[in-house]
Chain A
Amino acid sequence: MLSAATIDSGATAWVLVSTALVAFMTPGLAFFYGGMVRSKNILGMLMQNIFAMGLISVLWAAIGFSLAFGGDGAYIGNFDFLFMKDLGTIAELPGYTKEFGLVVPIMVFFAFQMMFAVITPALITGATADRLKFSAYAVLIGVWGVVVYPTVAHWVFSPNGWLFKRGALDFAGGAVIHVNAGVAALAVILVLGNRKGWPREAMPPHNLPFTVLGTGILWFGWFGFNAGSALGANGLAAQALVNTHLAAAAAMCGWLVVEKLRAGHATTLGAASGAVAGLVAITPCAGFVGGFAPVIIGLTAGVVCYLALSLKTKFGFDDSLDVIAVHLVGGILGAVLLGFFADTKVNSLGFDGIFFGGGADLLIDQLVALGATIAFSFIVTWIIAKAIDATIGLRVSSEDELVGLDQSQHAESAYQ
């Protein structure tokens, strides 16, 4: 049994609050995306996001957490915590010993990680907007949330995971959440196909105020996401919080400058997108970098993610709301830049990057982690999507697509 002395009440309070902050990000994401779709599809979008809170939470309690954090295996957890068995009574979580020991109750760690598991598959909905059948979506994220997410979470987050042991760093889930979801989104849309009429027809956002509102909620929640990942109420959490904010701020500026130069106007959608790109890029780095590094990382993310928008038209895949440009590219960028900017003076559990005298070792480990995540997530997600498409069908009928998801999938209208 965990002795009372090792539980830090301040840390527990902060991670409990962070859990609520991260939980709020999924409805935030719903509005971020919901504003960008056409008015006939907003309920479909809100529903897919909010439903992840329902389905994935249950699956996480039933099996997901156990597969991610149970046992000593390097590649996958086990069934020790199936249906939350023993979670309230065990002394420590496998791997979380010595310097990695938790100072919060395991139940708090379980809840905090649950919110990450929820938002990750929800990120995919931005790429599949306006055409993914709801039943197919439910099966997709249900299987994905059990097979793909816990596996990658185990590799990277669990101290027993092979990528963690190798030395790859991922503070709050650049690879586990953003690269994982981004590459899964690519796999799904390659099976799903493009929206009818894309890119010939204009499909402008129907409510940018919602998108800006969603951005605010995401930004706010991200403090829990990144600073909560310190799993303590301490200087590291403060550093992660400051890094998070500065990266979002700098990325917004970077995005707007390139947008103004290339497209003629600085737009509200650009400000929102830039901020999110910065939040994505700083996620893996948040507790490993310091000084002015978050500003440089954010600025780079704003510029690079903006430039990555053109990938979809170049290669002809309809990543409707730019999940790949923002989350996949932003996540890769953050993980790679960490190989340069990581500083053990910020976090002694990390490693020094190239700019801090650590040589290329960390960068190589980061690239291995990215390669493994991308390959595994892409292949498995593609197989899941293909299997769903061959059985119940992944996509709505063209008539339903024309009518919109709100009416065809949910028999509702957002606006009367």
Chain B
Amino acid sequence: MKLVTAIIKPFKVDDVKEALKSAGVQGMTVSEARGFGRQGGHTETYRGSEYQIDFVPKMKMELVIDDADVDRVVDVIVRAASTGKIGDGKVWVTTVEQIVRIRTGEHGADAI
């Protein structure tokens, strides 16, 4: 089992969600996040004073999937989230040791 974490542009959330649903993914969790990568932040000007805003708003999307689906799911996310411009975000995959579905008590792949 793998945890796929994607940091994407906020306006891409719906596109990515729809693409993942079409690809058969059954669940995901999103949260608002702020951060920066190579894109860096941006400047804002208030009454003539410039402020460097380092942390840019992003969405963090997390989904747990079966090992066999990893390449396909990552590919779907990358294609749906891409604009070709700097600041599109990142996707990474980590191994998950255990999952439990709370309602039924199912473990492992059955709980996905």
Contact = CB atoms under 8 A, between A and B. Distances in A.
Majority-rule SS of B interface residues: strand
Instruction: For chain B, give the interface size range.
Output: 10 to 19
Contact of B46 (A267, A306, A313): A267
Contacts of A322: 47
A202 B47 CA distance: 13
A263 B51 contact: no
A204 B47 contact: no
Contacts of A306: 48
A204 B48 contact: no
Interface string A232-269: 00000000000000000000000000010011110101
A265 B45 CA distance: 8
A310 B45 contact: no
Majority-rule SS of A interface residues: loop
A354 interface: no
A259 B46 CA distance: 10
A322 B49 CA distance: 12
A269 B47 contact: yes
B52 A264 contact: no
Interface residues of A, number: 18
Nearest to B52: A202
A108 interface: no
A273 interface: yes
Interface in B41-71: 44-53
Contact of A270 (B44, B47, B50, B51): B47
A309 B46 CA distance: 11
A41 to B, nearest CB: 16
Residue among B48, B51, B52 having the largest count of chain A Cβ atoms under 10 Å = B48
A216 interface: no
Interface of A: 199, 202, 204-205, 259, 262-265, 267, 269-270, 273, 306, 309-310, 313, 322
11 contacts: A202-B52, A204-B46, A204-B51, A204-B53, A205-B46, A262-B48, A267-B46, A269-B47, A306-B48, A309-B48, A309-B49
Given A306-B48, A309-B48, 13 more contacts: A202-B53, A204-B51, A205-B46, A259-B48, A262-B48, A263-B48, A263-B50, A264-B45, A269-B46, A269-B47, A309-B47, A309-B49, A322-B47
